Amino acid sequence: MTDQSPNRARAARGGGRAARRAARATALPEHLRPVRPGMEGGYYKPLTQEGMEKIHQAALQALETIGLADAPPSGVEYLTNAGCILGDNGRIRFPRALVEDMLAKANRSVTLFSRDGKNDLELSGHRVHYGTAGAAVHMVDVEGRNYRDSTVQDLHDAARICDQLDNIHFVQRPMVCRDIPDNLEMDLNSIYATTCGTTKHVGVSFTEPGYVAPAMEMLHMIAGGEDKWRERPFVSNSNCFVVPPMKFATESCEVMEECIKHGMPVLLLSAGMAGATAPSTIAGAITQAVAECLAGLVYVNAVKPGAPAIIGTWPFGLDLRTGAMTVGSGEQALLTAGCAQMHKFYGLPGGAAAGASDSKLPDMQAGWEQMCSNVMAGLSGLNMVYEAAGMHSSLLGFCHESLILSDDMIGQAQRCVRGIEVTEETLALDQIAEVCLGGTGHYLGTDQTLSRMQVDYVYPALGDRTSPKEWAELEKPDLVQKAIKRKEQILSERAAARFDPELDRKIRESFNIHLTA
């Protein structure tokens, strides 16, 4: 007789569970993974075709009749040589025909390269990629429930953590190294800290145009020569080239020119705040962001036709009751999704902000805010979802533990992006017949169910799906504590992306690197 004792039953359940966990732990080939970088979105469309046409026409009118102020002298020369008009008031105006000509010349299939070639990001069509971004000045201390200044070690640790997270596809600098007061050294150390922490594509900023040349010297060393750098630039420039509303950021434009000359891809970032530096309406904020980024696109192609550029429409929301910035609202999710649609209206690679939270800690508020905008951004087909993980307090604070938890969340968001495949196999009519006509009456343990368990389903690494009884038996594990443990485990191991010792020595001889060797 079969032993039906509780211990035997528990052991049987445990053995089956262990087998299933072992099966899930086995790495799948890339093409069989349930979610992966670059899956096609584009199903969610908050704007109608008529709405997009109206935004397009309004943006062209704004460029032709209002224009942008404060272009640097070099920018004035580039733009007027291309056909822009410099008014008596110093504003540069953009004739419609010129904008349309430059749209035709723009690079429509940008690839952001990784250092090792394993995580290249193709930005054509509705391909979706999630990653970090921002310039947070604080780190969230989840155990002490405090905020402290961010450091270069924090930045390096963030890159190392991202390198180990499957659902974080790129690493744009998420925080400022506040322990390095010299701006040149801060910019150079930001590049060093991120590129020796991850081989995924990295995004950085420059404080002044004169800082680009020494940065390129470092990047040529890392790449193995200028020719190899230009062939596969694995770092891009996040460039706030405008100061909304409708003004160029003079020094940032000069940085942009230098980056283009050195073969570095550029993110044209327009970050107006609806109700403050952009119109308070969602359509108006999108219109202004589109106009500013189209001006940036003309600028880039006036410097070098076809230079790789990403349309970075990043309008943010305000809580109009208080004037406080809000990045976790439903309106923010709509702003981002609408911008994604406009990128596809033009057929251009684009990025926007989603996944950030106004909450100070990785709590329930953070969860609903981060998930809402990340899912909508992905469903809208946004190529680059910036600030998708780890960002809190309306972009003021970054959290390593939240970054780790976001990997689970983005996995679920990507599963939504993947959608529902309808084929003869997935309709499963043969399974229904087999189970119902003389079968077991259920699908548990069938060959078909087992064969699809990894291909169709995304399983959280830290999320808890145990029963209350099992949860209690496991001593009631806390989600944030699990993230802390995972962080400590990642950072206890040597960085897989670390530089060869000889290369590291040469970099340290040439630059004042603040991270310990």
Question: Quick check: 2 pLDDT over 90?
Answer: no
Q: What percent of the chain has pLDDT over 70?
A: 95
Evaluate whether residue 501 is within a structural domain. no
DSSP characters over 409-427:
HHHHHHHHHH-----HHHH
pLDDT tens-digit series, residues 404-428: 999 999 999 999 999 999 999 999 9
Q: Decide: 422 and 2 in contact? Cβ < 8 Å.
A: no
Q: Decide: 191 and 514 in contact? Cβ < 8 Å.
A: no
Please indicate, yes or no, whether residues 82 and 143 belong to a single structural domain of this protein.
no
Among the ranges given (71-85, 275-289, 440-454), the one the predictor scored with the smallest mean pLDDT: 440-454
Q: Which pLDDT score, from 0 to 100, does residue 517 have?
A: 84
Question: Quick check: 25 pLDDT over 80?
Answer: no
Q: Which domain holds residue 276?
A: 108-418
Q: What tokens does 440 get?
A: 């077991």
Evaluate whether residue 6 is within a structural domain. no
Q: Decide: 133 and 395 in contact? Cβ < 8 Å.
A: no
Cα gap 309→346, rounded to integer Å = 13
Cα gap 241→224, rounded to integer Å = 30
The count of domains in the chain is: 2
Evaluate whether residue 21 is within a structural domain. no
* Residue 274 DSSP code: B
Q: Which pLDDT score, from 0 to 100, does residue 383 have?
A: 98
Q: Which pLDDT score, from 0 to 100, does residue 17 have?
A: 55
Cα gap 371→342, rounded to integer Å = 22
Please indicate, yes or no, whether residues 68 and 135 belong to a single structural domain of this protein.
no
Domain boundary among the residues 102, 133, 166 is at 102
Evaluate whether residue 414 is within a structural domain. yes
Please indicate, yes or no, whether residues 115 and 237 belong to a single structural domain of this protein.
yes
φ and ψ at 444, to 5 degrees? Answer: -65, 130
Q: How confident is the model at residue 208 (pLDDT cuts 50, 70, 90)?
A: very high
Please indicate, yes or no, whether residues 324 and 194 belong to a single structural domain of this protein.
yes
* CA dist 207 → 26, 197, 356, 415 (Å): 45, 22, 24, 38
Q: Which pLDDT score, from 0 to 100, does residue 510 have?
A: 98
Q: Decide: 175 and 147 in contact? Cβ < 8 Å.
A: no
Question: Quick check: 441 pLDDT over 90?
Answer: yes
Please indicate, yes or no, whether residues 322 and 283 belong to a single structural domain of this protein.
yes
Please indicate, yes or no, whether residues 188 and 59 belong to a single structural domain of this protein.
no
SS3 98: helix
Cα gap 289→270, rounded to integer Å = 6
Please indicate, yes or no, whether residues 209 and 94 belong to a single structural domain of this protein.
no
Please indicate, yes or no, whether residues 85 and 122 belong to a single structural domain of this protein.
no
Please indicate, yes or no, whether residues 299 and 352 belong to a single structural domain of this protein.
yes
Question: Quick check: 12 pLDDT over 50?
Answer: no
The mean pLDDT of 247-261, rounded to a whole number, is 98
Evaluate whether residue 351 is within a structural domain. yes
Q: Which pLDDT score, from 0 to 100, does residue 32 have?
A: 78
Please indicate, yes or no, whether residues 291 and 244 belong to a single structural domain of this protein.
yes
Q: Which pLDDT score, from 0 to 100, does residue 203 have?
A: 98
Among the ranges given (4-8, 43-47, 302-306, 412-416), the one the predictor scored with the smallest mean pLDDT: 4-8
Among the ranges given (58-72, 160-174, 241-255, 317-331), the one the predictor scored with the smallest mean pLDDT: 317-331
Evaluate whether residue 459 is within a structural domain. no
SS3 123: coil
Please indicate, yes or no, whether residues 259 and 361 belong to a single structural domain of this protein.
yes
Q: How confident is the model at residue 359 (pLDDT cuts 50, 70, 90)?
A: very high
Question: Quick check: 344 pLDDT over 60?
Answer: yes
Q: Is the peptide bond before 209 cis (omega within 30 degrees of 0)?
A: no
Domain boundary among the residues 418, 448, 469 is at 418
The mean pLDDT of 266-293, rounded to a whole number, is 97
Q: Which pLDDT score, from 0 to 100, does residue 33 have?
A: 85
Question: Quick check: 30 pLDDT over 80?
Answer: no
Q: Which residue has the tokens 């070639």?
A: 117
Please indicate, yes or no, whether residues 180 and 94 belong to a single structural domain of this protein.
no
Q: Which pLDDT score, from 0 to 100, does residue 24 have?
A: 53
Evaluate whether residue 410 is within a structural domain. yes
Q: What tokens does 114 get?
A: 């990784």
Query: Residue 393: which residues within 8 A CB-CB, separation 6 or more?
Result: 138, 140, 147, 357, 358, 359, 360
Task: Give the angle 375-274-99 at the CA atoms, nearest 5°.
Answer: 85
Question: The domain that contains 286 carries what CATH number?
Answer: 3.20.20.480
Among the ranges given (2-11, 292-301, 349-358, 500-509), the one the predictor scored with the smallest mean pLDDT: 2-11
Domain boundary among the residues 418, 440, 464 is at 418
Cα gap 373→334, rounded to integer Å = 8
Q: Which pLDDT score, from 0 to 100, does residue 215 have?
A: 98
φ and ψ at 85, to 5 degrees? Answer: -115, 125
* Per-chain mean pLDDT for the chain: 94
Cα gap 469→472, rounded to integer Å = 5
